[in-house]
């Protein structure tokens, strides 16, 4: 999991987490290999996984033709699994070979729902990431407080 800890260091969401929190969540992630053209999330499907990019380039297609490119290690996608509807709002396509770390919805929710500073940090960082990477898509994901999910 050496590479995962490197990705955590790069990630806006996870780099501020305490070492103890990181160690707790690392086992939840599994590494997926992506080939060019692979579609890992499809808009409208039930959101099963949350992803953290290790390498490669991903095209996130949103509604109304909008899209965003993720290519920096530590970028993440599919926070829709926290939304009320729990369905993906973006279609994610790999534009080149690469790797992502995936964490299942149940595992991630159990992590977030804990009333810990770590969970709060992750949620705050997600909002910051959204406004920086895709400010135009602020309202695309209807985030709910995890407790109400």
Positions in the binding site for another protein (CB under 8 A) = 36-37, 57, 59, 61-62, 64-69, 91, 93-96, 134-137
User: Between residues 68 and 143, which has the closer beta carbon with respect to another protein?
Assistant: 68
Smallest gap, in angstroms, from Cβ of residue 87 to another protein?
18
Residue 41 or 93: the one with the smaller Cβ distance to another protein is 93
CB of 6 to another protein, least distance (A): 22
Residue with tokens 């709002």: 89
Q: In what order do the strands lie in the sheet containing 67-70?
A: 39-41, 91-94, 58-61, 67-70
C-beta of 96 vs 120, nearer to another protein: 96
Nearest approach, Cβ of residue 15 and another protein (Å): 24
- The nearer residue to another protein, 47 or 137, going by C-beta atoms, is 137
- Which residue, chain included where needed, has tokens 């909008």? 66
Task: Find all residues with CB under 8 Å of 13, minimum gap 6, and list them.
Answer: 74, 76, 122, 125, 126, 129
Is the Cβ of residue 56 or residue 118 nearer to another protein in the bound state? Answer: 56
Least distance CB 13 / another protein (angstroms): 21
Closest approach of Cβ 96 to another protein, in Å?
A: 5
Buried b / exposed e over 51-83, threshold 16 CB at 10 Å, is bbbbebbbbbbbeeeeebebeebbbbbbbbbbb
Alpha carbon of 135 to those of 66, 76, 128, 139, 149: distances in Å? 12, 15, 9, 9, 24
């Amino acid at each position: 999991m050496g590479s995962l800890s490197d990705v955590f260091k790069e990630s806006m969401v996870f780099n501020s987490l305490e070492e103890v929190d990181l160690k707790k969540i690392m086992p939840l992630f599994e590494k997926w290999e992506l080939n060019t053209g692979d579609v890992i999330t499809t808009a409208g499907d039930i959101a099963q996984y949350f992803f953290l990019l290790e390498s490669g380039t991903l095209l996130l297609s949103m509604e109304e033709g909008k899209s965003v490119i993720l290519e920096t290690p530590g970028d993440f996608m599919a926070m829709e699994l926290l939304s009320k509807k729990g369905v993906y709002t973006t279609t994610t396509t790999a534009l080149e070979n690469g790797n992502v770390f995936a964490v299942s919805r149940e595992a991630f929710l159990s992590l977030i729902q804990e009333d810990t500073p770590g969970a709060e940090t992750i949620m705050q960082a997600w909002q910051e990431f959204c406004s920086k990477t895709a400010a135009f898509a602020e309202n695309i994901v209807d985030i709910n407080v995890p407790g109400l999910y």
